[in-house]
Amino acid sequence: MLVLALRSIRQRPGRFLATLLSAFLGAAIIMTFNSMHDTAAGDGVDAVSSETLGTAAGVVGGYGTLLVFFAVASTLTVNVRQRAAELELLRCSGATPAQIKRMVVGEAVAVALAGAALAVGPAMLGGRALLEMFQDSGQVARSVDYAFGPIALLSGVDITLVAAAGAAFLAVRRVTRGRGERAGAKRFLAYAALVAGAAGAGSTFLSSATDEALMAAPAYGAILLSVGLALLSPGLLRGVLGRLPQAGPSVWLAVRNLRERAAHLAGILVALILFTAVSTATLTMQAVESDAVKASGLVKSVDAKNLETLNLTVVGIIAVFVCLMLVNSLYAATTYRSREFGQQRLAGATPGQVLRVVAAEGVILTLTGVVLGTVAALAGVVPFTVVRTDAVLPDQFAGVWLAMVSVTAAVTLGTSLATARRVLRTPAVGAVALAA
């Protein structure tokens, strides 16, 4: 089966590009930040520098692990879903579910290994740049030398491999088992996340304006709320669809398509909601905090600076991964619909109308994701702002929000429309015959 796995990768490298890219980016980020552990372990590193380096490595390393897992899982789920026919063929030719599982997991591990190997070089450069950044801002002493050692290398490779294998296992199990989602457990998790998130955001009011960790409670509250909303998003999307005015054939078709595909679109909605919530909440709170410190005339402590760097880095990493997941999922989902587009065209839709259907779907998806994400973000931002500055909604919110929404809208609509345009180049009759 491993031979088959390797052969299947060699035959179709393009299909594994997204997985490779997420493994590469994930490994690069994990190694970059974990090399701070190696650096901190060097001779003659003072306590403050060591703590800064350790915090950075710990926080971002942890986030990185989660993100690699989600990104690889997302790309592999798409990959396995696309290959349903091939896997079915293997099963008909006598492959047991365990063999198929081994093949898919084997492929994922091979791709992850390649991604991790590719990531070593960039991670060394990135780590060096990161250390210089810390030194420039005075968070780490100039005398500290950069080191890329066993912690960085081992953690990068191990985490990437384990994440890839785990994600592949889950993805293929979902396919070989068929549909058996435990809706009850999912709903329980969603409500648990919502309650915990609301509690976290609400507990902000118990803190005072000068608390060091003031930002933690509302930030985690916003994240948990967005996770809860993300889990409930397919149902919420259906609710939105029922209330839309349906002017014109394109919106009419878009609403019906989305209603049927709501469960499949969950991954895209999750990415949209988490990105909007986490990035908007973190960046707004950071901006409020920085302005408040500036207004009070104090100089930021090293800890405060560390927090700022980490906040910005984490948001940056999340943004990159979410974009990767969105582009990959939307590209795959849209390519997969070639036959459906052909059928629409044969029923009398012009290519322009098909594109308008895709655009309408993208707009509805983006709006749903952004609104839910904004709700979660506000739940974190408002308590923080009230406690920190006595205002309710900070001035910085509008700008940050607009920037984040523009990014999501551009990525979602851009990918869907560009892919649909490409798909529409196949003549309708050919597109219908391809999958038949």
Partner 1 sequence: MTMFRTRTRGGHDQGPAPEALRLVKVTRTYGTAENAVTALDGVTLSLARSTFTAVMGPSGSGKSTLLQCAAGLERPDSGIVWVDGAELTGGTEAELTRFRRGRVGFVFQQYNLLDTLTVAQNTVLPLKLAGRRVDRRRVTEILTAVGLGDRLGHRPAQLSGGQRQRVAIARALVTEPRVIFADEPTGALDTRSARQVLLLLQEAVRVHGRTVVMVTHDPVAASYADSVVFLADGRPVGRMDAPTPDAVAERLAHLGDDVTAGV
Q: Are 274 and 227 in contact (CB under 8 A)?
A: yes
- Count of residues making up the chain: 436
Q: Are 247 and 253 in contact (CB under 8 A)?
A: no
DSSP H helices in 204-265 = 216-242, 248-261
The piece of 185-193, 294-302, 327-335, 350-358 that touches partner 1 (CB under 8 A) is: 350-358
According to CB under 8 A, which one of 203, 340, 359, 386 is a site residue for partner 1? 340
261 binds partner 1 (CB under 8 A): yes
294 binds partner 1 (CB under 8 A): no
Map the footprint of partner 1 across residues 165-224, applying CB under 8 A: none
260 binds partner 1 (CB under 8 A): yes
429 binds partner 1 (CB under 8 A): yes
351 binds partner 1 (CB under 8 A): yes
47 binds partner 1 (CB under 8 A): no
According to CB under 8 A, which one of 8, 204, 257, 284 is a site residue for partner 1? 257
295 binds partner 1 (CB under 8 A): no
Burial class (CB in 10 A: 0-12, 13-18, 19+), 398: exposed
Q: Are 6 and 103 in contact (CB under 8 A)?
A: no
* Residue 393 DSSP one-character state: S
Using only the alpha carbons of the chain, give its radius of gyration. 23
Give me the residue label for tokens 């990437």: 160
Minimal distance, residue 371 CB to partner 1, in Å = 24
256 binds partner 1 (CB under 8 A): yes
Distance of alpha carbon 100 from alpha carbon 88, whole angstroms: 10
According to CB under 8 A, which one of 25, 194, 349, 377 is a site residue for partner 1? 349
Distance of alpha carbon 154 from alpha carbon 34, whole angstroms: 9
Minimal distance, residue 303 CB to partner 1, in Å = 54
The piece of 9-17, 215-223, 264-272, 337-345 that touches partner 1 (CB under 8 A) is: 337-345
13 binds partner 1 (CB under 8 A): no
Question: H or E segment at 263?
Answer: none
Which residues are CB-neighbours of 205 under 8 A, at least 6 positions away? Answer: 383, 386, 387
Distance of alpha carbon 363 from alpha carbon 351, whole angstroms: 18
Minimal distance, residue 428 CB to partner 1, in Å = 7
Footprint on this chain of partner 1 (rule: CB under 8 A): 249, 252-253, 256-257, 259-261, 340, 342-353, 427-429, 432-433, 436
